[in-house]
């Protein structure tokens, strides 16, 4: 039925699924060593998933994205984000919705948010006490959640904001370990038998979130929206070619999509960046030197001279390279969204039949020795010495599904790192290496990276 598939992993599909959930990187390493840059796993006995880490083949896939069902391949995310989520759409509806949601996360519009990003980072960092240990990932999640609440939901104060914030954090943290993440992959665990089952608790929180979002949408309808720059406002104002507005359910699903896709990912990457910056003192020194070159008081207090603009910070070459190298070594998603073949296609000399799922793997490409010598070494300089194509380096995926927030995420990372480094002196609280572990659909640092503040700058 699926024709000749490349390098099929022979172990039972249930075992492959467990490995994929518990240790997606070890699993990929093991079979790429054995089979090279294309092999087939079976997470389900009826459905082959072909993992691909050959840049040429990935280019062929990204350039033919219209031949695949991609929304359908994200069905596992539906219980979290709802069926109207951009991630689950395909075809014309996907294109329309992307066109609508893209502008706030790109170009000049994005720079409006820069001030908010720096303020939020400064406010969270100002709570750290000298000598106190804190978990970087938790602190970064506080920052990125606050930013997404302001930018997407337009919420920064009031009763609804105070209710929504802890509820969202608790809801998201329900899949913070491989074991707890397994409920997203195994339907058998998706039983809503009240609050004594993990799934039931998750669903209860989700219902509370839905109610709060619905109340916010209804209240907005009665308010004057002049001057509002948030994405919710934009979604409420938009009309399609037939003059139809988005329904409340559609708006709610997109809000949760942007929230889930947009803040966990950035928080995790920031935590890894802080880890590497403080693991290798020369990286921190180079960054500080570069930041200081922009002005005596890099960020914040303007009394000593002119304050660098967000654009100046975003253009700093070494800071950019540090963010690129972090995204290379620590891809938040082990592979891009699954691409399900609709009708037979030829990729890398193989003919793939309808129903086969193709998965370009970010992790294996980012660790190819021929592209990244000493791939396990954090070396931002490699991005200053060489340019990589969109098929050799793609932390944000590619083709028609390239991450909607890629520009926003990179701006946020640079501004948050610049703010933190210019204001505080930090060191790692522990000397031992931090490992990656599954957190929902993403990969995050085990233990979250513990840091101590040793002083203020
Ligand atoms: C470091 C941060 C981030 C990383 C590493 C990341 C990574 C990714 C990846 C790998 C994809 C799949 C692309 C593909 O299959 O080709 C994706 C999709 C997506 N991302 Fe991001 N992302 C980040 C931040 C954000 C932010 C800040 C937002 C929005 C505010 C966002 C919104 C989305 C959305 C909506 C999609 C689905 C796009 C579609 O289906 O058309 N992401 N992201």
- As beta bridge partners, residue 455 has 425
Ligand 1 site, residue 401, Cβ cutoff 6 A:
yes
What ranges make up the beta strands (E) of 348-390? Answer: 350-352, 357-360
| Mean pLDDT, range 119-124, rounded to an integer | 93
- Cα of 281 to ligand 1 centre, how many Å? 31
Residue 37 has pLDDT above 50, yes or no: yes
**In the predicted structure, residue 301 carries a pLDDT above the cut 70:** no
Q: Is 336 in the pocket of ligand 1 (CB under 6 A)?
A: yes
Residue-level pLDDT at 335: 92
Kindly report, residue by residue over 319-351, the tens digit of the pLDDT.
Answer: 999 999 999 999 999 899 999 999 999 999 999
Phi, psi of 135 (to 5 degrees): -95, 120
Closest C-alpha to ligand 1, atom 3: 265
Q: Which of 63, 253, 261 to mutate to test the pocket of ligand 1 (most atoms within 8 A of CB)?
A: 261
Neighbours of 430 (CB within 10 A): 12
* 409 close to ligand 1 (CB < 6 Angstrom): yes
What tokens were used for 213?
């979002």
pLDDT for 304 = 47
CB 418 within 8 A of CB 319: yes
Strands 38-44 and 442-445, by their bridges, are unpaired
- Residue among 63, 74, 405, 440 whose CB has most ligand 1 atoms within 8 A, to mutate: 405
**Mean pLDDT across the chain:** 89
List domains and CATH numbers for the chain: 91-329+380-456 (1.10.630.10)
Distance CA(295)–CA(287), nearest Å, equals 13
77 vs 392: which has the higher pLDDT: 392
Q: Which of 16-25, 237-246, 286-295, 426-435 has the lowest mean pLDDT?
A: 237-246
pLDDT at residue 303, as a whole number: 44
d(CA 375, ligand 1 centre) in Å: 24
- pLDDT tens digits for 75-120? 777 778 888 999 999 998 899 889 888 888 887 778 788 988 999 9
What gap in Å lies between CA 271 and CA 443, rounded to an integer? 12
Strand segments (E) across 392-449: 424-428, 436-439, 442-445
**Given the CA of residue 257, which atom of ligand 1 is nearest to it?**
35
C-beta 151 within 6 A of ligand 1: no
In this predicted structure, the answer to whether residue 300 has a pLDDT above a threshold of 60 is: no
pLDDT at 297 exceeding the cut of 60: no
Instruction: Report which of residues 150 and 297 the model is more confident about.
Output: 150
Ligand 1 closest atom vs CA 413: 1
Residue 258 in contact with ligand 1 by CB distance below 6 A: yes
Indicate whether residue 269 lines ligand 1 (CB < 6 A): yes
- Give whole-number Cα distances, 293 to 290, 324, 423, in Å: 5, 21, 15
- Spatial neighbors of 217 by CB under 8 A, at least 6 apart, are 232, 236, 248, 251, 252
Instruction: Indicate whether residue 444 lines ligand 1 (CB < 6 A).
Output: no
Q: Which atom of ligand 1 is nearest to the CA of 394?
A: 10
Percent of the chain with pLDDT over 70: 93
Looking at the DSSP bridge assignments, the partners of residue 450 are: 135
Q: What are phi and psi of 338, to 5 degrees?
A: -65, 135
> CA-CA distances (angstroms) from residue 359 to 57, 225, 337, 364?
11, 42, 7, 11
- Closest-CA residue, ligand 1 atom 24, reads 262
Cα of 262 vs centre of ligand 1, distance in Å, is: 7
Q: Dump pLDDT digits (tens) for 398-419.
A: 999 999 999 999 999 999 999 9
Longest dimension (CA), the chain: 71
pLDDT computed for residue 96 by the predictor:
87
Q: What is the pLDDT of residues 355-367, one digit of tens each?
A: 999 999 999 999 9
Ligand 1, pocket-test mutation among 80, 396, 441, most atoms within 8 A of CB: 396
Alpha carbons 167 and 208: distance in angstroms, whole number: 8
pLDDT band at 157 (very low <50, low <70, confident <90, very high): confident
Per-residue model confidence (pLDDT) at position 308: 84
Cβ neighbours of 281 (radius 10 Å): 10
Please state, in angstroms and rounded to a whole number, the distance separating the CA atoms of residues 336 and 349: 21
Compute, in angstroms, the gap from residue 313 CA to the centroid of ligand 1: 23
Distance 396 CA to ligand 1 centre (A): 6
- pLDDT (tens digit per residue) in 419-430: 999 989 999 999
pLDDT at 50: 97
What is the reported pLDDT for 184?
65
């Amino acid at each position: 039925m699926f024709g000749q598939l490349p390098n099929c992993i022979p172990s039972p599909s249930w075992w492959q699924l467990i490995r994929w959930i518990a240790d997606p990187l070890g699993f990929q390493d093991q079979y790429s060593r054995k089979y090279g840059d294309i092999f087939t796993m079976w997470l389900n006995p009826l459905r082959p998933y072909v993992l691909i880490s050959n840049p040429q083949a990935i280019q062929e896939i990204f350039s033919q994205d219209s031949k695949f069902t991609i929304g359908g391949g994200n069905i596992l995310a539906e219980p979290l984000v709802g069926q109207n989520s951009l991630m689950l759409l395909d075809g014309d509806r996907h294109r329309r919705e992307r066109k609508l949601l893209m502008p706030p996360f790109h170009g000049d519009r994005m720079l409006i948010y820069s001030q908010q990003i720096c303020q939020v980072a400064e406010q969270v960092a100002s709570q750290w006490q000298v000598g106190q240990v804190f978990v970087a990932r938790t602190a970064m999640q506080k920052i990125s959640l606050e930013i997404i609440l302001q930018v997407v939901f337009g919420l920064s104060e009031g009763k609804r904001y105070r209710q929504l914030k802890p509820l969202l954090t608790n809801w998201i943290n329900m899949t913070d370990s491989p074991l707890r993440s397994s409920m997203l992959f195994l339907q058998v665990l998706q039983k809503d038998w009240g609050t004594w089952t993990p799934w039931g608790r998750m669903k209860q929180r989700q219902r509370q979130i839905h109610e709060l979002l619905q109340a916010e949408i209804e209240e907005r309808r009665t308010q004057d929206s002049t001057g509002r720059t948030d994405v919710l406002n934009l979604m409420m104002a938009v009309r399609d070619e037939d003059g139809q507005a988005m329904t409340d359910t559609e708006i709610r699903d997109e809000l949760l999509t942007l929230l889930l896709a947009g803040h966990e990912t950035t928080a995790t990457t920031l935590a890894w960046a802080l880890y590497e910056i403080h693991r290798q003192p020369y990286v921190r020194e180079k960054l500080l030197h570069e930041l200081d070159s922009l002005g005596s008081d890099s960020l914040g207090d303007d009394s000593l001279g002119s304050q660098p603009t967000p654009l100046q910070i975003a253009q700093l070459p070494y800071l950019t390279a540090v963010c690129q190298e972090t995204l290379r070594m620590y891809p938040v998603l082990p592979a891009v969204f699954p691409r399900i073949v609709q009708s037979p296609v030829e990729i890398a000399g193989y003919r793939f039949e309808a129903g086969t799922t193709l998965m370009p793997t970010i992790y294996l490409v980012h660790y190819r020795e021929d592209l990244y010598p000493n791939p396990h070494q954090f070396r931002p300089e490699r991005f200053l010495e060489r340019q990589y194509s969109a098929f050799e380096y793609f932390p944000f995926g590619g083709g028609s599904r390239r991450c909607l927030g890629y520009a926003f995420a990179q701006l946020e990372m640079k501004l948050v790192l610049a703010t933190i480094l210019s204001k505080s002196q930090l060191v790692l609280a522990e000397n031992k290496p931090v490992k990656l572990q599954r957190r929902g659909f993403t990969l995050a640092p085990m233990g979250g990276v513990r840091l101590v503040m040793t002083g203020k700058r």
